[in-house]
Amino acid sequence: MSKICCLIIDDEPLALNILEGYISRIPYLRLTGRCYSAFEALEMMNNYKIDLLFLDIQMPELTGIELSRIIGDDVKIVFTTAYSSFAVDGFKVNALDYLLKPFDFEAFQRAARKAKEWFDIRNAGFTGESNQGGNIIFIKSGYKQIKINLENVYCFEGLKDYVKIWISGKEEPIMTLMSLKGLEETLPASRFMRIHRSFIISLDKIKLVERNKVQLTNDIYVTISDPYREQFNHFLTGISIS
């Protein structure tokens, strides 16, 4: 299996050294970097693929809780802190686990195993495309593997750890445990585009574009958010009739 890329963030050098040593003992974890502040971590996350943070809560300037509210849902978090009173706040932001300092290797290993189980489940959500011209994917929903014909998909909606798949002919979306970012990397870019942090749409299903919204059906409207507007405008320019 591919390793989980980790970032450790703490303003205490000793805490970073302990975490680095623990990570080196777990074969499915890979340490990508160590940071002394949340701002340093943000910069590193912009430049490297990061799956998992081991994140101290009490830090100057920007706390671990505040950082967790800034980053996207694709990066998971295990909080590390000397203050048990922060546990409730930690789980309010959907942390995978909470380690109370000083913690031993056994406690760290339990948290790492919980992270591995989450990533294993998420990665099992998408099992790959068929050889039918890239029109078919299989996704895991509950205990079932469901065949999805991409020609019938209106859009994919990210919701925390899940993705909703809106399909023609179905009143309710199909839900699967996976990341929208991981799905985006597998879909054919010529047919699907991310136009919002939480939405990937089928370009073939666009009925109407009005100001900052795309209409896919009578009931499905998706807002074009600023980070994706330029790319979407390039697409519109390419299909416009002069």
CA-CA distance, 74 to 88, in Å (whole number)? Answer: 21
Tens digits of residue pLDDT in 13-70: 999 999 999 999 999 999 999 999 999 999 999 888 899 999 998 888 888 888 888 8
Q: Where is 69: in which H helix or E strand?
A: helix 64-70
Tens digits of residue pLDDT in 88-100: 455 556 678 889 9
Tens digits of residue pLDDT in 165-220: 999 988 889 888 877 877 887 788 889 999 998 999 999 999 999 889 999 998 89
**What's this model's pTM, rounded to 2 decimal places?**
0.57
What domains sit in the chain, N to C, each tagged with a CATH number?
4-123 (3.40.50.2300), 126-239 (2.40.50.1020)
The single-letter code of the amino acid at 216 is L
| Residue found by looking up tokens 């909470």 in the block | 98
